[in-house]
Amino acid sequence: MKALRLYLWLVLIQVRSQMQYRVGFLLETLSVALGSIISFVTLALVLQKFEGIAGWSLGEVAFLFALVELSFGLMDMIFSGFDPDYFAAHTRQGTLDQYLLRPVSLTLQIFGSQFILRRLGRIFQGTLILVYAVQLVNIEWTVGKILYLPLVIAGMVLFFGGLFMLGATITFWTVERIEAVNILTYGGTELMSYPMTIYQDWMRRFFTYIVPAIFLNYYPSLYFLDRPDPFNMPFVVRFIAPVVGLGVFLAAYVFWRFGVRYYQSTGS
Amino acid sequence: MFFGASEFDITKAQAHNDATKRLSQVVIRVHDLHKYFQVPIRQRGRFSALRSLLVRRHRLVKAVNGVSFQIGRGELVGYLGPNGAGKSTTIKMLTGLLVPTHGEISVNGRIPWKQREEHVKSLGAVFGFRSTLWWDLPVIESLELLRYIYDVPLARFKDNLREFRKILEMDAFINTPVRSLSLGQRVRADVCAALLHDPSLLFLDEPTIGLDVVAKERIRQFILHANRQRGTTVLLTTHDLSDVEKMCQRVMIIDRGKLLYDGQLESLRQRFGGKRELVVELVDEEDQISIEGAIVTSRQGAQVMFQFDRDQISASELIQRISSNYRIRDLSVREPDLEATIRRIYEQRLLEDAV
């Protein structure tokens, strides 16, 4: 309870200091939202020309795209403190010490150390496209689907959050952030925005067995859109998104704890 | 930087006695402490970036190399040493930020890095250049947040805050965001924050660095206050010898990872102080002055300065000899300044056999 209150307190501090420059904040949020809407409009125009991708209609691809956008935006806000681009500064300047001097979990303090509110722009944009997609596709909503949707989003937040945490932890060794991890995170969002059938087999296998991204957005979407599975996996894999997300997050968390211990034994 | 006998105030001697009484209760125990760092060697020449990525060569730096000491409850200890001597590394291990390569540390009976959260609850720490407060928050809100983090009872918090605000003169900036504070104000806020939860231990790493004389004095007064009135055990690292002279009875000197001296400030002065000076103002101006056991280093009218060796002649004996030949109006004994003493220790490594 105390941890939760402290977390909310720390986030509130972040929010308040970002709101001090209200006009700047609004403009930035708006430009972020506009930026990704434009990229979606481009995609939509192309899709209309070709009448979909790999048998997926515009609305169906928009659904995939929107779900990733929304989840990644949420994650980018909640996990701001672990964003490797930002976290690398901690290891470079040794500012982690001030957190380690407080009798509170380091992880909680990093979560509370940054909360970038302008990510709302991306969340807003994702929601907008999601609503648009649902209109286009005419999804048959069942109780199961309604209950599962937030779990899928949570799964993706945990998955991308885990990747952020992984990238942050690596800076304990490298000091500088590593581009390869960014390729995974940002490349992952791109990849997950399209039906998996458009990729080559080796790539799909990589994102099935090495980085299990396929289960987070693609398979749940097959369920929401009532589409058949071209890869003949068990039906149940449409429902494992939250478990996979949690698994990736927990693995990243264990690695993070290990990294912190390494940092304490070597840091200067 | 003179330290005349008249300046040696009684409160300091008093505090010294109290400290020896409490010494029976050891709160910090450090035994054979080592900390080594692997520092990558930058390679030069063609493809240097690629080569250093592929073949990482390291140099082993022994930042702390076999340090042992004990600190008793209520002591105020100065930890001295040049840049890179190992002071901060020691403090970081004591506060649980770093894990030693080898050796033992026990603080309040705990091993700092193993029980980090428990450990840091009972200590306060100030790292001179770095603030632990929230940049965008007004000072008072940072302090309130810390109250929540450390579970300080409200009444206790209010009492402490009232007291600290007064001594540190914080009223003028208590509602100012930390980012807009001057360095002096910021350090005051940090020191206040470090003590709000009544820690039994206070670690200060260069607390007065970069401050003006007035701000330094205020910080020193506050540290002394915490040490005497609250019995807080204090360990402070510093470059500034006047910090040590004004606050500490005991000093530890470290250089290149090894402890060179650990003991009373006074005995350091006595053992390694070298020459003392006696300034005498005579009633009459004399043409020729010579006294056995001392040499005249300067003369200004009736004022004569003698230099003498403490091992060869005591001050009182010298004064007797002078007064039997000349009429003295006034006199004072000057101790050699501490800075010169310590410089001699570093340069000549006088203490290496002594410890």
Q: What is the DSSP string of A73-138?
A: HHHHHHTGGG-HHHHHHHHHHTTHHHHHTSSS-HHHHHHHH---GGGHHHHHHHHHHHHHHHHHHT
Does the model's ipTM exceed the 0.90 cut?
no
| CA B152/CA B169 separation, integer angstroms | 22
What are the backbone angles phi and psi of residue B134, rounded to the nearest 5°? -80, 120
Question: Nearest residue of B to residue A100 by CA position?
Answer: B97
Q: Select the residue from A10, A21, A102, A114 to test the B interface by mutation, using most B Cβ atoms within 10 A.
A: A102
What band does A260 get if pLDDT is binned at 50, 70 and 90?
very high
B271-309 per-position pLDDT tens digit: 776 677 888 888 888 778 888 888 888 888 888 888 888
Inter-residue contact B230 to B151 (CB < 8 Å): no
Q: Say which residues have a Cβ less than 8 Å from residue B349's Cβ, sequence separation at least 6.
A: B255, B260
> B136–A266: do the CB atoms touch at under 8 Å?
no
Query: To the nearest whole angstrom, how far is the Cα of B180 from the nearest Cα of chain A?
Result: 14
Is residue B10 predicted with pLDDT exceeding 50?
no
Is residue A228 predicted with pLDDT exceeding 90?
yes
Q: DSSP secondary-structure letter at A238? A: G
Q: DSSP secondary-structure letter at B55? A: S
Is residue B72 predicted with pLDDT exceeding 90?
yes
Question: Nearest residue of B to residue A174 by CA position?
Answer: B53
Q: Say which residues have a Cβ less than 8 Å from residue B111's Cβ, sequence separation at least 6.
A: B105
Q: Say which residues have a Cβ less than 8 Å from residue B153's Cβ, sequence separation at least 6.
A: none
> A265–B38: do the CB atoms touch at under 8 Å?
no
Looking at the structure of chain A, the number of domains it has is 1
Is residue B19 predicted with pLDDT exceeding 80?
no
What band does B349 get if pLDDT is binned at 50, 70 and 90?
low
Tell me the mean pLDDT in the region A196-203.
92
Inter-residue contact B346 to B82 (CB < 8 Å): yes
Question: Nearest residue of A to residue B141 by CA position?
Answer: A13
Q: Burial of B167 by CB count in 10 Å (0-12 exposed, 13-18 middle, 19+ buried)?
A: middle
What band does B228 get if pLDDT is binned at 50, 70 and 90?
very high
What residues in chain A have their Cβ under 8 A from chain B's Cβ atoms?
A: 5-6, 9, 13, 16-17, 20, 95, 97-98, 100-105, 261, 264-268
Is residue A206 predicted with pLDDT exceeding 60?
yes
Inter-residue contact B280 to B323 (CB < 8 Å): no
* pLDDT for the residue numbered B171: 94
Q: DSSP secondary-structure letter at B208? A: T
> A101–B150: do the CB atoms touch at under 8 Å?
no
What pTM does this model have? 0.81
Tell me the mean pLDDT in the region A244-268.
90
* pLDDT for the residue numbered B174: 95
Is residue B26 predicted with pLDDT exceeding 60?
yes
Query: A134 vs A62, A139, A219, CA distance in Å?
Result: 9, 6, 17
Residue A132, domain extent: 2-266
A53-90 per-position pLDDT tens digit: 888 998 999 999 999 999 999 999 999 999 998 898 88
Range with lowest mean pLDDT among B58-62, B103-107, B143-147, B251-255: B58-62
Tell me the mean pLDDT in the region B333-351.
71
What percent of chain A stands above pLDDT 90?
A: 61
